Structure 1
Amino acid sequence: MDRYKIMMIDDDSEDQWVIREALQELGTGDDVAAFVSNGQEALSRLDHEYAEARHVPNLIVLDLNMPLMNGTATLGKLKADDRFRDVPVIIYSTSINPFERDKCMALGAHSYITKPITIEESVQTVETFLTFCQ
Structure 2
Amino acid sequence: MKILMIDDDPEDRDILFFSMEAIEKSKALYFAEDGEQALEMLDKDFIGNNIPGLIILDINMPRLGGTDTLRGIKGDARFRNIPVIIYSTSINPFEKEQCLELGAHSFLTKPTSYQESVDNAMLFSRFLSM
Report TM bin, short chain.
Answer: over 0.9
Q: In the alignment, which residue of structure 2 is the partner of 1:96?
A: 91
How far 1:28 moved relative to its partner?
1.3
Q: In the alignment, which residue of structure 1 is the partner of 2:34?
A: 38
| Residue from 5, 22, 33 that aligns with 1:25 | 22
CA 1:47–1:54 in structure 2 vs 1: closer, same or farther (change >3 Å)? Answer: farther
**TM-score normalised over the length of structure 1:** 0.92
How far 1:67 moved relative to its partner?
0.4
Amino acid at match of 2:17: R
SS of 1:35's equivalent in the other structure is strand
Q: In the alignment, which residue of structure 2 is the partner of 1:61?
A: 56
Q: Which runs of 4+ in 1 moved over 3 A?
A: none
Cα deviations across residues 7-54 of structure 1 (Å, max 9, x unaligned)? Answer: 00000000001001101111112111x111000000001100245x65
Q: Output the CA distance in 1 between the equivalents of 2:89 and 2:123.
A: 17
Amino acid at match of 1:92: Y
Q: In the alignment, which residue of structure 2 is the partner of 1:14?
A: 11
| Residue from 100, 103, 108 that aligns with 2:103 | 108
SS of 1:113's equivalent in the other structure is strand
Question: Can you give the 5+ residue segments of structure 1 that lack an aligned partner in the other structure?
Answer: none
How far 1:132 moved relative to its partner?
2.4
C-alpha RMSD of the superposition: 1.1
Amino acid at match of 2:25: T
CA 1:44–1:132 in structure 2 vs 1: closer, same or farther (change >3 Å)? Answer: same
SS of 1:46's equivalent in the other structure is helix
CA 1:117–1:5 in structure 2 vs 1: closer, same or farther (change >3 Å)? Answer: same
Structure 1 range deviating more: 79-88 or 23-32: 23-32
CA 1:50–1:121 in structure 2 vs 1: closer, same or farther (change >3 Å)? Answer: closer
Aligned residues: 129
**TM-score normalised over the length of structure 2:** 0.95
| Residue from 116, 123, 126 that aligns with 2:121 | 126
